[in-house]
Amino acid sequence: MELWFKYTAGALNRLRSCYVKCIKSFFKYSKYYSVTNMFFELNLPTFDTLLNNSKYMLHSQMINSGNGIVSHLNQIVLHA
């Protein structure tokens, strides 16, 4: 079970949209400017990249944890 299981697709889409709008506003891009080009020009990660990196980092920290309880829980999750 993932950490994000309680969030609906609609909630994640609204958060993704807010992320894009905030970056466009902060860097003064037009609302019609290409999101792909904007992220490429600014060398910034997309929302999906941030989300996947966060999941990966959490998983890596659990695997490399010296805590026996966390390691055991991680094994249960991996084999479920």
pLDDT digits (tens, 9 = 90+) for 56-71: 888 777 777 777 777 7
Q: Is the pTM of this model over 0.85?
A: no
**Tally of domains in the chain:** 2
2 belongs to a structural domain: no
| pLDDT above 90 for 4 | no
Q: What is the DSSP string of the chain?
A: --TTTTS-HHHHHHHHHHHHHHHHHHTT--TTS-HHHHHHHHT---HHHHHHHHHHHHHHHHHT---HHHHHHHHHHHH-
- Domain residue limits at 69: 46-80
* CA pair distance 72, 77, nearest whole angstrom: 9
Q: Residues 11, 38: one domain?
A: yes
Inter-residue contact 31 to 24 (CB < 8 Å) = yes
Average pLDDT of span 34-52 = 95
Looking at the chain, how many residues does it have?
80
Inter-residue contact 36 to 21 (CB < 8 Å) = no
> Confidence class of residue 38 from pLDDT cuts 50, 70 and 90?
very high
Q: Residues 55, 80: one domain?
A: yes
Q: Residues 29, 59: one domain?
A: no
Q: Residues 51, 40: one domain?
A: no
